[in-house]
Structure 1
Amino acid sequence: MVQSAVLGFPRIGAFRELKKSTEAYWNGKITADQLLATGKEIRAHNWKLQKDAGVDIIASNDFSFYDQILDLSALFNVIPSRYTKYNLPALDTYFAMARGLQRKATETTKAVDVPALEMVKWFDSNYHYVRPTFSHSTTFKLNGSKPVDEYLEAKALGIETRPVVAGPVSFLYLGKSDKDSLDLEPISLLEKLLPVYAELLKKLAAAGAKTVQIDEPTLVLDLPKNVQAAFKTAYDYLASVEGVPELILTTYFGDVTPNLDAIKGLKVAGFHFDFVRDPEQLESVASILNDKQILSVGIVDGRNIWKNDFASSIALVKKAIEKVGSDRVVVATSSSLLHTPVDLANEKKLDPEIKDWFSFATQKLDEVVTIAKAVSGADVTDKLAANAKSVKSRKEHEITNDSAVRKRMSEITDDLTHRKSPFPKRLAIQKEEFHLPLFPTTTIGSFPQTKEIRVTRNKFSKGKISEEEYTAFIKKQIQEVVKFQEDIGLDVLVHGEPERNDMVQYFGERLKGFAFTTNGWVQSYGSRYVRPPIIVGDVSRPGPMTVKTSVYAQSITKKPMKGMLTGPVTILRWSFPRDDVSQKTQALQLALSLRDEVEDLEKAGINVVQVDEPALREGLPLRAGAERSAYLKWAAESFRLATSGVKDSTQIHSHFCYSDLDPNHIKALDADVVSIEFSKKDDPNYIQEFANYPNHIGLGLFDIHSPRVPSEEEFVARIGEILKIYQPEKFWCNPDCGLKTRKWPETTASLTNMVAAAKYYRNKYAKKN
């Protein structure tokens, strides 16, 4: 009998229970014990759900209060000394690493002021992990026993689980050197780390765990030779330690073939590979198995919401069985289901026919079990027939082929993807248009979404207040945000986006070709969850989406007001995309819709338009080669298609955050001004990479994911470091990202200090000239 396995389950709760409890703890409304109790309830529910679905191999230690990689940093004592010097409780130290901590001294506690660790995208997903930060003084040891505790917790419920732990090579390679140890290559710490891994694994075995899922997702990357060699070092060592359980080495998100030599011959019990992303690797990966190793076939998509095509999946699993035998094949999710919504059953408003095309995490449990039963010879005829009917319905539905959209796509020319003039000519015209000072200040777009805003928007969506009442409320919010920006002295303003639920969902709701969920939440980072729209068909714009709001905002100020749009690649990447047409096709369809919006904004008198592309780097194929080159070409083309229909005097901005960015990729967009997340970067080489960037740039000056407020002196010092390398006449001052998740007191203080620092340098350079 072929077994079924799930590599991990969403930890947020079906109705965001984890978010509510975590934020309540941060706000002092519940105790640590109450927060821990919420986590325990969610874990128990998830394990029971999987057991009841008939899943054979269920993961434990897939739960986290913030991020699974941060959990490992805390567990292995990879905690920079700036977090330990305050002697905080372990949970508070953990959250300080995640989001920073700033609080004043009291009679019983001393003042705390520490920024968060760097946060970056998890491979090519919209999930963010907290990057492990190593130094020469890092001392590995076990801090607690979270994986063991959660394994025993499940066992007490009568549920046997397979603990999951990120592997030692990936943990080190995905980390970074701390600012005081920039000469340190993290992978060089492997031999010091391995004994602590072995100690953890032995504790899991002693608790009863027979097998451990050890994730090494870096195997789908282009790895240097020393990192490839590290796999043999690591797994030979672990195999030599008595009392270590069997290991299933797990990869996902891509093709492992180029790194097969690094794992061939490893003394592990088996391997898991992602055959959703690359079904063609079956022949290659099967060839490295010995006659006892298990092949875990990742065939149910852990990254998207489309119903599995049972016919094609069963065919692939049968090929795997032919190669290694049914007793050595496991049918599994391609990756953890962390990246999918929890339960389709909670969606009551979706069109029934379209809803039938989807499968969320709970439904994917049944898919894994059904495929395993089918290849084992069980009678699942009814389920196979229903699945085939659903797949056929989607292929034939009229929404998937809009002839008007396809005709317009065929008319795209190279001229449509380039501005009328090169940047130097545009810059001269824009200087006369805007008369901005040196070191112009702006924000990225959103301002705090208060409870009042969220409640009022919810009332409007449920028909509890009229459109007139809602419009009046939104106008009042815009008035207050505009006045605030004028009062503190910002130079280029935004309307604050009080009407927007999410930077992608808002636009998807105004475009044809999308479907939306009510409870389809997915974790992006920490307590930040998103509800990705679903691209179900060809995309077009029925009418203007932002023009009326932007025109109103511009009408109440004499300063430039930015029109705020989300770019085509980001809308694509932060939605659940179609899997029946190329991503390039979807991006260009979105670009044509946004092009119409940009041109309408300009016609309405909005002469600064920001088209954000924070997901540009996220979409980059994980390996260098033809696929990556093609992506970079069409991604830049789609941005330029969206933004190139305007006059030279219209200033196009864009924004990027929380990725390792290449200036050449951004240069290809030809935006007049770009703003880039920078506050968590402490490598001086990162500034150097942008030193010759030809257009204008704002390196983000404070971390919007943290409540911490930098002082004016800190802003001055940070700008000073940048100006040692970057040209002052090209530099803008702005936050890392939008301010939606922040509260007003910290927003006011941070922006006030930022503007003061900009004025300091404005005066300094005016005296020089």
Structure 2
Amino acid sequence: MNTLLPTTTAGSLPKPSWLAQPEILWSPWSLEGDALAEGKQDALRVAVHEQTRRGIDIVSDGEQTRQHFVTTFIEHLSGVDFEKRETVRIRDRYDASVPTVVGEVRRERPVFVDDAVFLRGITDRPLKWALPGPMTMVDTLYDAHYKSREKLAWEFAQILNEEARELEAAGVDIIQFDEPSFNVFFDEVADWGVAALERAVEGLKAETAVHICYGYGIKANTDWKAGLGSQWRQYEASFPLLQRSSIDIISLECQHSHVPMDLIELVRGKKVMLGAIDVADERVETPEEVADTLRRALAFVDADNLIPSTNCGMAPFPRRVAEQKLSALTAGARIVRDELARPVRSVA
């Protein structure tokens, strides 16, 4: 697309109350059977309508058809037993009961492709689709079969590539891989994390993105961030590796965070999806606050490579808050877009 500073969202949007209980992660569905299938499509319509109405340029599904950004994908794979659960430490941050890998993992059928076909049929805007990244998938399971995080990641990378190729064929313009684990397991990122991500994008003609954030605004994440000090420099480990990778777009969290803006310099030449909306605070940013974040980023990324976005997903927010934040994002981007379009006056 030719729009300067095209806006988008990093991930999830709140679901309608008739589909799932609001403001809760992993919220169970309120419908069943055919009513659930119809309700999910209605929710996709609403998500696209609200993004379009609020001026979002690159729209997404808002993750309306999934309960969780990782496990909903895994639910469709063979080799994983959701009844056999173990407690594991998620991203070295909090304990969770997770399903167990009991055999070879395989993708028996497409997971999100039908949703993508449906979405492509109701909007002509550029479409972005998020998938979990291989390392983050590994970190959300107990592995009783491969007994190797790296081996399991390579299996997931192959599966993700199959799904991504079909999403591309369905008309998806940008395929995003969510890898919050890249901000935690630095040695693994260097050893095999980026390589597994490269396998997941192999052969794609659609643009590719990796989203690395500090997580939803839940207590476990905010407590973790509180102990990270005055500067969050986790991106320093992954950005140089990603700068040399084939990934087109690098996503990072910047609004109300302690990420030094100059770390963007480490991915010079890549497109940058910049988090300019806080997902840990319900206070709605002013357009000028968003604009200020974007202006500071422009010292380290060319304007035609900057994509204003949210820090992360907004599923836990009330819908009105998320919608107002989307409006603030587009209004802030418009301010900077207008500034960039003004002719520079020469000084006599």
TM-score band, normalised by shorter chain:
0.7 to 0.9
Aligned to 1:710: 285
Partner of 2:111: 545
Within the candidate set 612, 632, 643, 2:201 is matched to 643
C-alpha deviation, 1:518, in angstroms? 9.2
Deviation at 1:703, TM superposition (A): 1.7
The CA distance in 2 between the partners of 1:690 and 1:579, in whole Å, is: 39
Do the aligned residues in 2 keep the contact of 1:517 with 1:531 (CA within 8 Å)? no
Contact 2:20 2:28 in 1 (8 A): yes
Contact 1:510 1:542 in 2 (8 A): yes
Q: Which amino acid aligns with 2:79?
A: G
- The code of the aligned residue for 1:458 comes to W
Aligned amino acid, residue 582 of structure 1: S
Q: Summarize deviations over 1:166-213 as a string: whole Å, max 9, x none.
A: xxxxxxxxxxxxxxxxxxxxxxxxxxxxxxxxxxxxxxxxxxxxxxxx
Contact 1:639–1:669 (Cα < 8 Å) also in 2: no
1:688 aligns with 2:247: no
Q: Which residue of 2 aligns with 1:665?
A: 241
Unaligned 5+ runs, structure 2: 22-26, 215-231
Structure 2 residue aligned with 1:726: 301
Per-residue deviation, residues 393-444 of structure 1 (Å, max 9, x unmatched): xxxxxxxxxxxxxxxxxxxxxxxxxxxxxxxxxxxxxxxxxx2311110001
Cα separation, 1, equivalents of 2:102 and 2:339 = 54
The AA in structure 2 aligned to 1:506 is: T
Cα-Cα RMSD: 2.5
* Deviation at residue 654 of structure 1 after TM alignment: 1.7
Using the alignment, how far apart are the partners of 2:156 and 2:196 within structure 1? 8
The answer to whether the aligner puts 1:609 opposite 2:185 as a matched pair is: no
After superposition, the Cα gap between the structure-2 partners of 1:696 and 1:715, relative to the gap in structure 1 and judged at 3 Å, is same
How far off is 1:704 after superposition? 0.7
Question: Would the aligned equivalents of 1:675 and 1:698 in 2 still touch at CA under 8 Å?
Answer: yes
The answer on whether the counterparts of 2:87 and 2:97 sit within 8 Å (CA) in structure 1 is yes
TM-score by length of 2: 0.83
Q: Quick check: 1:570–1:614 contact (8 Å CA) kept in 2?
A: yes
* CA distance in 1: counterparts of 2:301 and 2:211, whole angstroms: 18
Distance in 2 separating the partners of 1:743 and 1:517 = 31
Q: How does 1:457-476 map to 2 (within 5 A)?
A: 458-460=29-31, 465-466=32-33, 468-476=34-42
User: Aligned ranges for residues 132-211 of structure 1 at < 5 Å?
Assistant: none
Q: State the Cα distance separating 1:669 from its structure 2 match.
A: 4.0
Q: Could you tell me whether the CA contact under 8 Å between 1:513 and 1:536 is conserved in 2?
A: yes
| Distance of aligned partners of 1:606 and 1:530 in 2 relative to their CA distance in 1, 3 Å threshold | farther
Q: Percent identity?
A: 24
Aligned pair in 2 of structure 1 residues 566, 558: CA closer, same or farther (>3 Å)? same
**How far has the Cα of 1:450 moved from its partner?**
4.5
Q: Is the 8 A contact 2:265 2:300 kept in 1?
A: yes
Contact kept, 8 Å, 2:100 with 2:142, in 1: the verdict is yes
303, 310, 313: which one aligns with 1:735:
310
Richer in helix (by share)? 1
Equivalent positions of 1:92-107 (< 5 A) are: none
> Could you tell me how far 1:521 is from its partner in structure 2?
7.8
The corresponding residue for 1:652 is 208
One-letter amino acid of the counterpart of residue 656, structure 1: I
Task: Give the Cα–Cα distance (whole angstroms) in 1 for the partners of residues 44 and 87 of structure 2.
Answer: 28
**Could you say which residue in structure 1 is the equivalent of 2:226?**
none
The separation in 1 between residues aligned to 2:84 and 2:330, in whole angstroms, is 39
CA change 1:459–1:707 in 2 (3 A) is closer
Match of 1:496 among 62, 69, 82: 62
In proportion to residue count, which structure has more strand? Answer: 2
Aligned partner of 1:576 among 135, 138, 142? 142
Give the secondary-structure state (helix, strand or coil) at the position aligned to 1:706.
Answer: coil
Please, what TM-score do these two structures have when normalized by structure 1?
A: 0.39
- Tell me the CA shift for residue 543 of structure 1: 1.0
**Is the CA contact (8 Å cut-off) linking 2:12 and 2:315 kept in structure 1?**
yes
Partner of 2:335: 760
Structure 1 residues 687-713: Cα deviation after superposition (integer angstroms, max 9, x where no partner): 212225221012211221221211112
2: CA distance, partners of 1:490 / 1:600: 25
Distance 1:495 1:651 in 2: 17
Q: Which amino acid is 1:642 matched to?
A: A
Task: Please state how far the C-alpha of 1:727 moved relative to its aligned partner.
Answer: 2.2
| Contact 2:19-2:36 at 8 Å conserved across structures | no
**Any conservation in 1 of the 2:81–2:100 contact (CA below 8 Å)?**
yes
Match of 1:589 in 2: 155
Distance 2:343 2:179 in 1: 36
Look up the SS of the partner of 1:589 in the other structure.
Answer: helix
Aligned equivalents of 2:48, 2:240: Cα separation in 1: 35
